[in-house]
Amino acid sequence: MVYRRLFDLPAFRPRGSFQELDNMRRQFDRLANLLSAAPERSAGAGVFPQLNVTEDVNKFYLRAELPGVRSDALDIQATGKTISIAGERKISEEDTNARYHRREREAGKFSRVMALPSDIDADRIEAKLENGILTVMVPKAETAKPRQIRIN
């Protein structure tokens, strides 16, 4: 017998009744999120630091804002197609006589992994840390660069 399903797309029939309820709950959760909270601007992984990834024909560029992090406190590794950036941000402790009026900056460890969409040439990766902005330039592998195809 054909029956209309109110919530789900026509798909596999759920095995047992609990899965239907699960699906319903998920749909309602999504609806509730849409209606209540303002949509978050960043759709990132929710992990510090936030990255901006751009590309041109030859390279990928990863940028992160890391004010107050020294280059010796950073550890950047490349494995396969992923780049991992880890480190620690330290805030110098002032002497105990200091009275804080405001304390907004935070210190601590961070670690972030970013998978790039094409093959990379790991031997020629360059990174620089200037004015608190980390830029990692990852050259693409030769096979991953676009190749012009001529038509005879």
Partner 1 sequence: MVANDTKELKIKEKQEVSTPAEQTRPGLVFTPLVDIFETEKALVLLADMPGVRPEDLSIDLRDDTLTLTGDVQPFEGADEKDLLIEYEVGKYHRQFALSEIINQEKIDAQIQNGVLCLTLPKVEKAAPRKITVQAV
The residues that touch partner 1, with contacts defined as CB under 8 A, are 41-44, 46-57, 60-61, 63, 65-70, 89-91, 94-95, 97-111, 117, 129, 131-133, 135
Q: Quote the tokens at residue 39.
A: 């949509």
Closer residue to partner 1, CB minimum distance, 55 or 119: 55
Distance CA(59)–CA(137), nearest Å, equals 6
For 22, phi then psi, to 5°, come to -60, -45
Report, in Å, the least distance between residue 85 CB and partner 1.
12
Classified as helix, coil or strand, 14 is: coil
Closer residue to partner 1, CB minimum distance, 4 or 99: 99
Report, in Å, the least distance between residue 132 CB and partner 1.
2
Report, in Å, the least distance between residue 63 CB and partner 1.
6
Closer residue to partner 1, CB minimum distance, 16 or 108: 108
Angle at 19 between CA 15 and CA 25, to 5 degrees: 165
Classified as helix, coil or strand, 118 is: coil
